[in-house]
C-alpha cells in the first residue's frame, strides 16, 4: 500500500507528497477550469500516469528478454469532454520505441503497454487510441 498526502494550498493549488519517497508535486486547475495552469492539473496526472505506466511496463518486459528500449518516448494528448460531466474523454498515445525488435518482441511490448495497471484501471468509456512507431 502506498500513501499520498495532499494539502489544498488555496487558489486552486495543491501539494502532494509521496509517502515512501517524500517527493512532492504540485497541481493547479487548468486555465479552462478557473485555474492559472501553472502546473499539472489533476487530469494531466491521469495522462502522465498512463504514459509512464505503459513505458515502464514495457521496460520490465524488455529487461526480462534482454531487449533494449532505452530512449523510448511516449506522448499523450489529453482531451476533455463536458457531457455528461466534465471528465477526460480521450487520451491519444504515441509510443516511439527505440531499438531493433523482431515481430515477437513488438507483439510482447505492445501487449505489455496495453495491459499496464493504469490502462487496466481506466473507465471503458474513455477513448484510448494507441499508436506505436518502431525505430530501426
Task: Based on the fold, state whether residues 74 and 113 are members of the same structural domain.
Answer: yes
Task: Based on the fold, state whether residues 28 and 50 are members of the same structural domain.
Answer: no
Domain that holds residue 25: 4-33
What is the pTM (predicted TM-score) of this model? 0.94
Query: Which CATH number characterizes residue 124's domain?
Result: 3.30.300.20
Neighbours of 46 (CB within 10 A): 20
Neighbours of 6 (CB within 10 A): 13
Residues 32-68 have pLDDT tens digits of 889 898 999 999 999 999 999 999 999 999 999 999 9
Task: Based on the fold, state whether residues 19 and 58 are members of the same structural domain.
Answer: no
Task: Based on the fold, state whether residues 28 and 55 are members of the same structural domain.
Answer: no
Residue closest to 52 by CA, chosen among 123, 5, 117, 105 = 117
Task: Based on the fold, state whether residues 73 and 109 are members of the same structural domain.
Answer: yes
Q: How many structural domains compose the chain?
A: 2
Distance between CA 115 and CA 18 in Å, rounded?
Answer: 24
Amino acid at each position: 500500500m502506498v500513501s499520498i498526502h495532499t494539502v489544498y494550498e488555496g487558489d486552486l493549488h495543491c501539494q502532494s507528497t509521496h509517502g515512501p519517497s517524500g517527493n512532492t508535486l504540485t497541481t493547479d486547475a487548468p486555465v479552462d477550469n478557473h485555474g492559472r495552469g501553472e502546473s499539472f492539473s489533476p487530469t494531466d496526472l491521469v495522462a502522465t500516469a498512463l504514459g509512464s505506466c505503459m513505458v515502464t511496463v514495457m521496460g520490465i518486459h524488455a529487461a526480462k528478454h534482454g531487449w533494449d528500449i532505452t530512449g523510448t518516448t511516449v506522448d499523450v494528448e489529453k482531451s476533455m469532454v463536458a457531457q455528461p460531466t466534465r471528465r477526460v474523454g480521450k487520451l491519444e498515445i504515441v509510443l516511439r520505441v527505440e531499438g531493433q525488435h523482431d515481430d515477437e518482441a513488438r507483439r510482447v511490448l505492445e501487449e505489455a503497454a496495453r495491459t499496464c495497471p493504469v490502462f487496466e484501471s481506466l473507465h471503458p468509456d474513455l477513448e484510448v487510441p494507441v499508436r506505436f512507431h518502431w525505430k530501426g
